[in-house]
A and B are shown apart, each in its own frame.
Chain A
Amino acid sequence: MTTTAGRQSSGSTTADRLAAGVGRRVRGLPVGMVLAAALAVAVGLTPLAYLAVRTAQAGAERVAAELLTARTAALASRSVALATVVTLACLAIGVALAYLVVRTDLPGRRFFGVVAALPLAIPTYVAGFAWLATLPRFAGFWPAALVLTLCSYPYVYLPVAAALAGTDPAQEEVSRALGRGAWRTFSGVTLRQLRPALASGGLLVALYVFSDFGAVSLLRYDTFTRAIFTKFNLGFDRTGALVLSTTLVALTALLLFTESLARHRARYARLSGASRPPLRIRLGRMRWPTALVPAVVAGLSLGMPAVSLTGWLASGVSRPEPVGAILTAAGNSLWVSLLGAAGTLVLALPIGLLAARHSGTVPQLLERASYAGHALPGLVIGLSLVFFAVTLAYPLYQTTAMLALGYSVLFLPLAVAAVRAAAIQSPPALEEVARSLGRGPLHVLRTVTLPLTAPGIGAGAALVFLTCMKELPATLMLRPTGMDTLATELWTKTDVAAYAGAAPYAALLIILAAVPTWLLAQRTGVWNETNQ
């Protein structure tokens, strides 16, 4: 526990205090970092503030009428059931793929390492449509669960792969030396080391399932979010929809509470000083058969939509705009997603680092709070940003900067989870040494903490980038008037059933998403070949 008494400053000017504040500590907490984290959380919580404003306007009677119904309870339990099944499935697939890619001599593991992250670039409505076009009767709970799992397991895969690449092999070596087999070492040592990554990845999946509309609407599984959209789209009942959305926040709070119970308190930093590549298991004769596992997952998650897209191209006569228009949309997508990822990381760094380094109430609360709005559908978050931009920052409304900020609010938890998981695995001792040698806190952050956590941060950046690329509802509301991205163009085409014209946009969306994923994978050393 951190119970160091805070040093009190006296008689200095505000400017002095501010200047000194960056490095100051109160109750063992770095003041500058706490302030930065609090600011970032405040930005991330704009949707909740908006919901609070609108719910208050609706009045208690209306709120009670919307929420206290048997249908609300039924829908909530359906959402929870779906989230549970999808989260468990994603944990299994994400861990299996990450382990195969990082810890075994799987053939083509670099290729599979990148491919396994790509389903994140496929909007669930595209995946749902692909399945439905192939199997017309494919609808209901299990189909929805399957499609959601295939689209969202990378939320687990990416942080787990980063964690596996960053863990100290020493503990596993000890376990093996003590005579434990590969499986017992995996379940007893490796999985324990992965707990932070598993917990945060699983949480993101569950929140995503709460917020998803695309898959559940196409595959006709009635969830809470679908009810919210029905109110919006058909009843044009904004207030009713927003009041209903508060239930998703309550579900999120419940989930966050459950997840904190499951979290392990132990730290997972390296024992030895020098970083060593992780152990790789030789699969021997099972090498090629094992490659079927990632191949089948890729076939279902990427191959299925790809085949369907090809079918669209072949069956339709609608054609996309000239190459110039496609390239412009692609450039816009890359640019706003890059800005979105950068902005999200800037907000996430103080929250994630603080939560990883300090176990007190304030850091943990701040980190938990950054998730609070993440189960809300993009439409609600988009509206909240419209509300705040129009009220507080009108000159920024419908500019690229505002859109990037919108992405940061939408996807903050993705980056916070990645930063936190990465920082938990890097030893605080090195930072303490640097600080004791007289380095300033920002200097330590730049020269010690960031390089150490780079693989995890890179994975987080990839996650946010991929997710920004496909985001639709907030993009439609916040983009500068007249700016098209691949996602908006894809939507424009599918909206009028011009599937052949839509196919190139969908294909380009996935291909472009692959490039940064590939670069990050190379750069952060997750898939380094230096071993053995």
Chain B
Amino acid sequence: MRTFGLRSVAAVLSVGVAIGLVGCGAAGGGENEITVYSGRAKSLVQPVIDDFSKATGITVNVRYGQTAAMASQLLEEGDKTGADVFLAQDAGALGAVSKEGLFGRLPTDLTDRVPEQYRAADDTWVGVTGRARVLVYNADKVAEADLPHSVYELTDSKWKGRVGIAPTNGSFQAFVTAMRVADGDDKALSFLKGLKANDVQLREHNKSIVADVDTGSLDVGLVNHYYLYEKAEEAGKPVEQLKARLHFFSGGDPGGLVNVSGVGVTKQAADDADVREFVDYLLGKAGQTHFTETNFEYPLIEGVSPAKGLPPLSELDPPAVNLNDLDSLDQTVQMITNAGLA
């Protein structure tokens, strides 16, 4: 106890500083080495990256983090960033970084593989995978014939207390933003107020909605399509054996929005051959197949089919909104709050 104090603390600290200093070379990417900031989960991304490294011999250093926090981190780093590539969960995060001018332009032969509505107008980012908004329903509680044709029907008294939403979740907010862009603020606000008046059930996450619909404590809920497949995988059974099923809104209904995860390349890395090869891999058959098979998201290039049981992307009939127009989330958050849902 007597020697508890300065000497040992100082020793520990100096060792730490030394190790830190030695380790700091890792940030910069050299030949055959790139650094990726991933706002997408490790379990989804790392296998693709390992395959890429195996195929090309390029070493990839990856930082994993939360998409929004990482976008902010990139903005703080500015030109000094060690990142070459930003993989984001959400088009909004890519848009925020792009708006500050931190992304370089991607070559059109890469971006052209992806339908126009799923990439930046100025080619500073491109979508990698798609996710569809769906209605998840419990097959024991709701007959297929009773399913709504439009998301607007959920404010009908017949759905009172039966619908689950996750209003603080990004995917829900993107959907409301799409509704505002497609049908106007008034209609969106009255929809939200209608949900509130209809005793809509609030959850923090999409996955809790899917879990609750599967157990039957909720009848239906608004979520992204792949959560059902995640649920099936974690439960260790095929998706058809779950009580929860997917219903796609069609006819350009805002409830059927298709959003993307995507990738942008920092300005200083835009011409790096290794970096281009990486983006090429993500948008190639191998990368797209992987995301489809392990992650159940929609592939965005032609020639790769989505997970079993999903209608192909081309058969979906999402609302005619441009993802680049979904950047007014602030007003959406305000509207959701005003409707008493958050």
Give the residues in chain A near B67, CB-CB below 8 Å. 233
On whether A477 and B73 interact (CB within 8 A), knowing A346-B9, A446-B5, the answer reads yes
A136 contacts B204, CB within 8 Å?
A: no
If A343-B13, A451-B1 touch, whether A316 touches B333 (CB-CB below 8 Å) is: no
| Cα distance, A457 to B12, chains bound together (Å) | 17
Q: A481's contact among B20, B27, B77, B329, by CB below 8 Å, is which? A: B27
Interface size on A, residues (CB 8 A): 72
Q: Which residues of A contact B12 (CB under 8 A)?
A: 338-339, 342
Specify which of A234, A492, A499 is in contact with B64 (CB 8 Å cutoff): A492
A274 CB–B CB distance under 8 Å: no
Question: In this complex, what residue of A is CB-closest to B61?
Answer: A481
Interface positions, chain A 274-291, Cβ under 8 Å from B, are none
Contacts of A480 in B (CB 8 A): 20, 23-24, 26
B95 neighbours in A (Cβ, 8 Å): 236
Q: Does B189 contact A (CB under 8 A)?
A: no
Query: Chain B residues with Cβ under 8 A from A398's Cβ?
Result: 24, 26-27, 63, 82
Complex CA distance for A394 and B342, rounded to whole angstroms: 40
| A217-B204, A317-B236 as given contacts; A71 in contact with B337, CB under 8 Å | yes
Within 8 A of B (CB), among A439-477: 442, 445-447, 450-451, 454, 457-458, 473, 476-477
The answer to whether B113 has its CB under 8 Å from any CB of chain A is no
A234 to B259 CA separation, bound complex (whole angstroms): 14
Taking CB atoms, residues of chain A closer than 8 Å to B41 are 492, 495-496
Q: Does the CB pair B63–A481 fall under 8 Å?
A: yes
Q: How far is the CB of A329 from chain B (nearest CB, A)?
A: 12
Question: Does B127 sit at the interface, judged by CB under 8 A?
Answer: no
CB B223 to nearest CB in A, in angstroms, measures 12
Complex CA–CA separation, A498 to B44 (angstroms): 12
Q: Within the assembled complex, what's the spacing in Å between the Cα atoms of A454 and B9? A: 13
Task: Please choose the segment from A20-28, A94-102, A192-200, A379-387 that sits at the chain B interface, where 4 or more of its residues have CB less than 8 A away.
Answer: A379-387
Does any Cβ of B come within 8 Å of A49's Cβ?
no
Which residues of A360-417 are within 8 A (CB) of B?
Answer: 379, 382-383, 386-387, 390, 394-402, 404
Measured CB to CB, the closest approach of chain A to B101, in angstroms, equals: 15
Residue B80 CB within 8 A of the other chain: yes
Chain B residues closer than 8 Å to A233, beta-carbon distance: 66-69, 170
Inter-subunit contact B24/A477 (CB<8 Å): no
Q: Verify if A238 is at the interface (C-beta below 8 Å from B).
A: yes
**Which residues of A from 128 to 149 have beta carbons under 8 Å from B?**
132, 136
Are B24 and A397 within 8 A (Cβ)?
A: yes
State whether A217 touches B20 (Cβ < 8 A).
no
A481 contacts across to B, CB distance below 8 A:
26-27, 35, 61-63, 82
In the complex, chain B residues whose CB is within 8 Å of the CB of A77: none
Chain B residues within an 8 Å CB radius of A500: 234
* Chain A residues near B16 (CB-CB < 8 A): 339, 342-343, 400-401, 404
Report B5-48 residues with CB < 8 Å from chain A CB: 5-6, 9-10, 12-13, 16-17, 19-21, 23-24, 26-27, 35, 41-44
Chain A: minimal CB distance from B13 (Å): 6
Q: Residues of B contacting A402 with CB < 8 Å?
A: 20
Q: Are A236 and B96 in contact (CB under 8 A)?
A: yes
| Chain B positions 43-81 with a Cβ under 8 Å from a chain A Cβ | 43-44, 61-69, 71-73, 75-78, 80
B83 nearest in chain A by CB position: A481
Question: What chain B residues lie within 8 Å of A383 (beta carbons)?
Answer: 69, 72-73, 76
Contact B76 A390 (CB under 8 A): yes
Q: Does B313 contact A (CB under 8 A)?
A: no
B262 at the interface (CB under 8 A from A): no
Closest residue of B by beta carbon distance from A478: B73
Name the residue of chain B whose CB is nearest to the CB of A384.
B76
B109 interfacial contact with A, CB 8 Å: no
Q: Which residues in B have their C-beta under 8 angstroms from that of A523?
A: 1, 4
Residues of the B chain whose Cβ atoms lie less than 8 Å from the Cβ of A400: 16, 19-20, 23
A437–B5 Cα distance when bound, in Å, is: 22
**Contact in complex: A238, B202 (CB < 8 Å):** no
Contacts of A445 in B (CB 8 A): 6
Closest chain B CB from A117 CB (angstroms): 18
Report A425 CB to chain B, min CB distance, Å. 16
Within 8 A of A (CB), among B196-249: 202, 204, 207-208, 212, 217, 227, 230-231, 233-236
Q: How far apart are the CA atoms of A493 and B69 in the complex, in Å?
A: 18
CB–CB B330/A454 < 8 A: no
How far apart are the CA atoms of A495 and B76 in the complex, in Å?
Answer: 25
CA distance A82 to B185 in the complex (A): 34
| Smallest CB gap from B71: residue in A | A236
A238 vs B218: C-alpha distance when bound (angstroms): 35
- Cβ of A267 within 8 Å of any chain B Cβ, yes or no, is no
A259 interface contact, C-beta 8 A: no
Interface-centre pick from A338, A451, A481 (highest chain B CB count, 10 A): A481
B278 to chain A, nearest CB (A): 16
Asked if B158 is at the interface of the complex by the 8 Å CB criterion, the answer is no
Contact pick for A399, options B21, B62, B234, CB 8 Å: B21
- Residue B93 lies at the interface, judged by CB distance under 8 Å to chain A: yes
**Interface residue from A450, A482, A525 paired with B63 (Cβ < 8 Å):** A482
Which residues on the A side are within 8 Å of B212 (C-beta)? 136
Question: What's the minimum C-beta distance from B162 to chain A, rounded to whole angstroms?
Answer: 15
Q: Is the CB of B9 within 8 A of A446?
A: no
- Interface membership of chain B positions 179-201, coded 1 if the CB is closer than 8 angstroms to chain A and 0 otherwise: 00000000000000000000000
**Leading 8 A-B pairs by shortest Cβ distance:** A401-B20, A399-B20, A317-B236, A236-B96, A233-B68, A339-B16, A450-B5, A400-B20
- 21 CB contacts below 8 A, A to B, read A222-B342, A231-B330, A232-B72, A233-B68, A233-B170, A236-B329, A238-B96, A315-B234, A318-B234, A339-B16, A342-B12, A400-B19, A446-B5, A447-B2, A480-B23, A481-B27, A482-B63, A488-B64, A496-B230, A523-B4, A525-B1
Known: A386-B77, A394-B80, A492-B43. 14 other contacts (CB 8 A): A217-B204, A232-B68, A232-B72, A236-B71, A343-B16, A383-B73, A386-B76, A387-B76, A398-B63, A399-B20, A400-B20, A450-B6, A473-B66, A497-B231
